[in-house]
Structure 1
Amino acid sequence: MLTLISLCSLWIAWCAQHSLLISSHAHRTARTLLGRYFGLYRLGYVLFSVVTLVPLLYYQYSLPQHVIFAWHGPWRLLQAGLLIYAAVLFYLGSRVYDMAYFLGISQWRQYRRAEAPAPLPFRCDGILGYVRHPWYGGGIAFLWGAGPNSDVSLLGKVILSAYLVIGTFLEEKRLKKELGTPYITYCRSVPMLIPWKRKSLGA
């Protein structure tokens, strides 16, 4: 029990720092403290998130686990459906997202050229015309489709699923503030997490 409580605390701490470091307040603080080096912030954020995630995953999978549910027989079809669905959303999302901006590479290049940071890009074509957050939706599907569910892995899946949902709403709040009316109109026309019939963005 103490092990599960420790793991739960570590996952919550990781999710909290991940959200706090990408918040508008953190951006303002970093811009003030870093000055002209702010262009390195996003890249540092991505690297820090990965570096802190790896030992947490290693710790989780090193723990003794009791399998609660494993994919067998016809259930394999549901598992395959979840993983294919996740893969499609990840792929289509990568086609429309500016990956260099997402990873912080664009900001780093602008920093090296002594250029001002570019404004947040906004697109509503491709998969973004059917769902606003394909990677969050795909992430939830991947979590529940990947591997068997044990007492240990189930804890991580529940926490990360809740984090993705909460993170989606926090991201929406930030985007509405930064992008304004165009994004608010977009939200009225396109579903948040589950792709649905494309609507006119002018509706």
Structure 2
Amino acid sequence: MPLYIDYLLLVVGWLVYFVLHSGLATVRVKEAVSSKLGLSVAGYRIFYNIIALLGVLVLLFYNGTLIPPKLIPQMGFIKYFSLLTAGIGVIIINSAFKQYSTSGFLGLAREESGKLKTKGILSYIRHPLYSATILIFIGFFLYDSRLATLISVLCVFVYLPIGIYLEEKKLIKIYGDEYRAYKKRVPALIPSYKTILDNF
């Protein structure tokens, strides 16, 4: 099989993953699947997280099977920088979960609802988990700079604005003007000079 077919399959795999990821997050699909499978809210969240995790693992495994030459020479400082970048992403995830209910997010407990959360890292950026994803995938590419990894990273980066748009559409539906005001005040992914000053 020609190598470009392998790369095309990788792109198609990410496309299917993102369609499933966004589709399963919609209220309509959530209600339909929950009803058909007899799942509670927490049960559906567990189901969603298992599908998301398995999908990423399968795609990363397939990514790892494609082994052409490296695009960037693997000098020591690049590897250290890649680990630093991914490490900062992990720290951001940890900060984000201090604002969310981790057990609720994983589906192990009832998700907290009601008030819009804007404290902690959420007072600097609206989507810390997406910011962390960007840093982790940049680190991933710098550490493993094959064409397959670059394609995977680009697929994720192309999806992120779509994911943010769909998530914010849902949040505006839930919180209305409160979220619109928050959106005007706080940037999506990178802290602004103003938000940094406002939080000192």
- For residues 102 and 134 of structure 2, the distance between their equivalents in structure 1, rounded to whole angstroms, comes to 20
- For residues 80 and 58 of structure 2, the distance between their equivalents in structure 1, rounded to whole angstroms, comes to 32
Q: Kindly state the Cα deviation for residue 140 of structure 1 after the two structures are TM-superposed.
A: 0.6
Structure 2: gaps (5+ residues): none
Range moving further from structure 2, 151-160 or 139-148: 139-148
Which of 131, 152, 158 in structure 2 is aligned with 1:137? 131
Structure 1: gaps (5+ residues): 108-116
- For residues 101 and 186 of structure 1, the distance between their equivalents in structure 2, rounded to whole angstroms, comes to 23
What CA deviation, in whole Å up to 9, does each residue of 1:151-202 have, x standing for no partner? 111110100122223211111111111122211111111110112232769x
Q: Kindly state the Cα deviation for residue 98 of structure 1 after the two structures are TM-superposed.
A: 1.2
Q: Kindly state the Cα deviation for residue 34 of structure 1 after the two structures are TM-superposed.
A: 5.3
Alignment of 1:39-188 (within 5 A): 39-72=42-75, 75=78, 78-79=81-82, 81-107=84-110, 119=113, 122-146=116-140, 147-188=143-184
TM-score normalised by structure 1 residue count: 0.82
Q: CA RMSD in A?
A: 2.5
What CA deviation, in whole Å up to 9, does each residue of 1:75-99 have, x standing for no partner? 5575355334323311211211111
When the two structures are aligned, how many residues end up with a matched partner? Answer: 192
TM-score normalised by structure 2 residue count: 0.83
Q: Residues 67 and 146 of structure 2 are in contact (CA less than 8 Å); yes or no, is this contact kept in structure 1?
A: no
Identity score, percent = 26
